[in-house]
Amino acid sequence: MIVSTLGFPRIGPRRELKHSLERYWAGEIDQAALQEDALALRAAAWARQHGLGVTHLPSNDFSLYDHVLDTAAMVGAIPERYGWDGGPVGLDTYFALARGTAGLPALEMTKWFDTNYHYLVPELAPDQEFTLATTKPLDEYLEAKSLGFQTRPVLLGPVTFLLLAKSSNGHSDGIRMLAGLLPVYAELLRRLEAAGADWVQIDEPCLVLDLDDRARSAFRLAYAALAEASAVKLLLTTYFGALGANLDTTLELPVAGLHLDLARAPGQLADVLEKAPAELALSLGIIDGRNVWRTDLTAALTRLEPVLQKRGDEGLMLGPSCSLLPVPVDLAIETGIDDELRSWLAFAIQKIEELAILGRGLTDGREAVAEELARSDAAAAARRSSPRIHSDAGTARLKAVTPEQTKRPNPYPVRREAQQATLALPSLPTTTIGSLPQTAEIRSARAAFTSGKATVEEYESFLRNETEHAVRWQEEIGLDVLVHGEFERNDMVQYFAEQLDGYAFTQAGWVQSYGSRCVRPPIILGDISRPKPMTVAWASYAQSLTDRPMKGMLTGPVTMLQWSFVRDDLPRETVCRQLALALRDEVRDLEAAGIRVIQIDEPALREGLPLRAADRPDYLAWAVECFRLASSGVADETQIHTHMCYSDFNDIIEAIGALDADVISVESARSHMELLDAFETYHYPNQIGPGVYDIHSPRVPTAEEMRDLILEAAKRIPANQLWVNPDCGLKTRSWYEVKPAVANLVEAAAEARTQLA
Ligand code: GLN
Ligand code: ZN
């Protein structure tokens, strides 16, 4: 039985790649040393996977930064401004594309489908020509071969590459360029074949999206051409969803094998079995490559055995649902979790062990793996019945939720008057999004506290001091609604997760977010509840320092869900409701403590949107309901804010309206208020603060330019609905940027008030 991984995490079990990259960028090691470290990581990954029983080892799954960028470099899709000479793409050019240079911004970055991994968006010129500029897939294939490993090179498929790319002039579309791109892929395949490659894995995750006829014909055209180009066997890999309406097209493609995601889309197996030609090899993505839970092996075998009977073992392969990129490397080096939780989890290495067991169970029968199955059964049973997972009180509370609890007692116009009476804000009120600069002193004070070098008292007195300074500064420059600065928070999700029951945390569970940046998502393992208030003490302290309204700051339920590893034994929407109830209690406690403005951040609401249009209304309905459940338990006088940061929210504008937050702040400075186009047709009923200060740039905007942005906004949205604020939190900026920028923002609001009066 062929066992494969589709791709292995590239960052290294202890983030070795991150450390090498950062040393290279800092000039501490040279190119040769970086390449040597990278080779060591690849060699270790091959040896490890081989040792665990993987028979189709991936190569070219490694990347120094991002595999989509690698593909752009491979085909010579490098915008002119980077000054590439047409030869092999050197590291300087590569990292300029990835990270920018002093005078040159990096390529745009965006989320890889619905994961939290970010790729660099290839940028194609209208007259883009492609050449085989870099032979990385071939080089790494040969490198593995020289180490004694026969590998299956992984390529990002040509159609997905073009569909993910954007054109530099905004007019032409990628598919148009397919004919020019195919010869490059054809040449590469020929060279891989000549070098000895037997199978090549070609990733086309766009096959799980809604495609039009044009895109479907592009797939037909592309794979006909590639089949003709070489005799290498292509495994067409699809993941992150079901093929759905693209199934028939996919089954017509002249490829040797097809990979299916059976974790996200288990239901598609029956259809595929019915329709797939007998000679098509099927790669079954039976193990969830996106989550950290141990697989129920008996259940998996029960699903696999009939497939084996039907198709025989010749044409079957086993794999994770997708590349193992979204999961941490090795549970064995994890020290942050208890033994019970450990027995319920599987990281990349453990998932490969599971695949190997399933492979043996299929070929040699269940008896051959009886012990492993018994252990898996025991873990599954223990997890199902553990009191850590289920709380009767929690279930009862969820059941008792009424529709009234998801509605504010009165409609917005009534609330608006009540809020104006207590808050007495000027027109175009000014505020910030919550966090203020996280300085080196703050980080080292936190490190001293967490490592036990500083006492709670010392740490908290330091934080109180920072908060007080921040409040004084905000009063001085004249902001209307103040924030406490979030100095006590390590991260907007982790800070809350650490105070909620139902969450667990890892020490070593790093996954790549982009480039050298890694995150350690917390794990939701059981029912969520809030043992005690989480933010009330800091909010009350900050409010006690000033007469101006102090915003209480919370992370919303959808964002908490989206940025965690979520338990797989409950629907996501149920977990989200539990989070919403915990936050609802927090909101009410803040109100009871005298906080009159409460912001519930939902930056991840948009990215939770399902890949298929048909699934979106359902998601938006429960996501909106969860936000409302969290936010609606307060009186009319209490002003609820929310914040979102992405520029393309036009397609979910109605859902944003349905949140019924009194005030929403959104990112828009970078796109020059493009988002306001949505308001030409949609009349947003409540108040909105389109960001006028692009906090992602170190540039300090002038008062005039921000005033002009406000006036621009006032053309589409009545001025009495507008707020003035930055795009996002200020934690990544320095005080020397933030101080003048926010002072200018206050001045801009004042000028705009006079002009609009
Ligand atoms: N309140 C958070 C902050 O200011 C919001 C962060 C975000 O939107 N990502 O940092
Ligand atoms: Zn933001």
Q: Is pLDDT above 70 for 339?
A: yes
User: Which residue, 574, 579, 573, is CA-closest to 555?
Assistant: 579
Amino acid letter, residue 382: A
The tokens describing 682, both together, are 């949609």
Q: Is pLDDT above 90 for 382?
A: yes
Nearest ligand to residue 435 Cα = 1
The Cα 263–Cα 288 span in angstroms is: 5
pLDDT at 567: 97
pLDDT at 647: 64
Which is it for strands 663-666 and 687-690: parallel, antiparallel or unpaired?
parallel
The Cα 491–Cα 443 span in angstroms is: 12
Contact by Cβ (8 Å): 297, 322? no
Please write the tens of the pLDDT for every residue from 167-208.
Answer: 877 655 889 999 999 999 999 999 999 999 999 999 999 999
Q: Domain 415-756, what architecture?
A: Alpha-Beta Barrel (3.20)
Establish how many alpha carbons lie within 13 A of residue 240's alpha carbon, considering only the half-sphere containing its beta carbon: 21
- Among residues of the chain, what percentage have pLDDT more than 90? 91
- CA 601 to centroid of ligand 1, rounded, Å: 7
pLDDT at 86: 93
- The domains of the chain are located at 2-49+57-326+337-385, 415-756
Query: Is pTM beyond 0.85 here?
Result: yes
- Among residues of the chain, what percentage have pLDDT more than 70? 99
- CA 494 to centroid of ligand 1, rounded, Å: 13
Nearest ligand to residue 600 Cα = 1
**Mean pLDDT across 314-330:** 97
Q: Who has greater pLDDT, 396 or 103?
A: 396
pLDDT at 554: 98
Of all protein residues, the one whose alpha carbon is nearest to atom 10 of ligand 1 is 729
pLDDT at 105: 85
Contacts of 365 (CB under 8 A, 6+ apart): none
pLDDT grade, residue 535 (50/70/90)?
Answer: very high
pLDDT at 172: 59
Q: Is pLDDT above 90 for 298?
A: yes
> Ligand 1: residues within 6 Å at CB?
433-435, 486, 492, 553, 601, 603, 643, 645, 728-729, 731
Asked which of 49-53, 423-427, 605-609 is least confident by mean pLDDT, the reply is 605-609
pLDDT at 574: 97
Please write the tens of the pLDDT for every residue from 77-110.
Answer: 999 999 999 999 999 999 999 999 888 889 988 8
Q: Which of 259, 641, 672, 696 is an active site residue?
A: 696
pLDDT at 675: 73
Residue appearing with tokens 């951040």: 601
Please write the tens of the pLDDT for every residue from 656-694.
Answer: 999 999 999 998 877 777 777 787 788 889 999 999 999
Of all protein residues, the one whose alpha carbon is nearest to atom 9 of ligand 1 is 603
Q: Who has greater pLDDT, 607 or 51?
A: 51
Which is it for strands 523-529 and 511-514: parallel, antiparallel or unpaired?
unpaired
Per-chain mean pLDDT for the chain = 96
**Mean pLDDT across 375-385:** 97
Class of domain 2-49+57-326+337-385: alpha beta
Q: Which atom of ligand 1 is nearest to the CA of 555?
A: 1
- CA 662 to centroid of ligand 1, rounded, Å: 18
Q: Is pLDDT above 80 for 568?
A: yes
Q: Is pLDDT above 70 for 17?
A: yes
For the four alpha carbons of 412, 413, 414 and 415, in that order, the dihedral sign comes to positive
Q: Which atom of ligand 1 is nearest to the CA of 434?
A: 4
Q: Is pLDDT above 90 for 14?
A: yes
pLDDT at 170: 66
User: Would the CATH topology of 2-49+57-326+337-385 be identical to that of 415-756?
Assistant: yes
pLDDT at 677: 79
The Cα 78–Cα 94 span in angstroms is: 9
Q: Is pLDDT above 80 for 477?
A: yes
pLDDT at 739: 98
696 is annotated as an active-site residue: yes
Of all protein residues, the one whose alpha carbon is nearest to atom 6 of ligand 1 is 729
Extract long-range pairs of 391-400: CB within 8 Å, 24+ residues apart: 391/526, 391/527, 391/529, 393/529, 394/527, 394/528, 394/529, 394/578, 395/527, 397/581, 398/574, 398/577, 398/578, 398/581
pLDDT at 545: 98
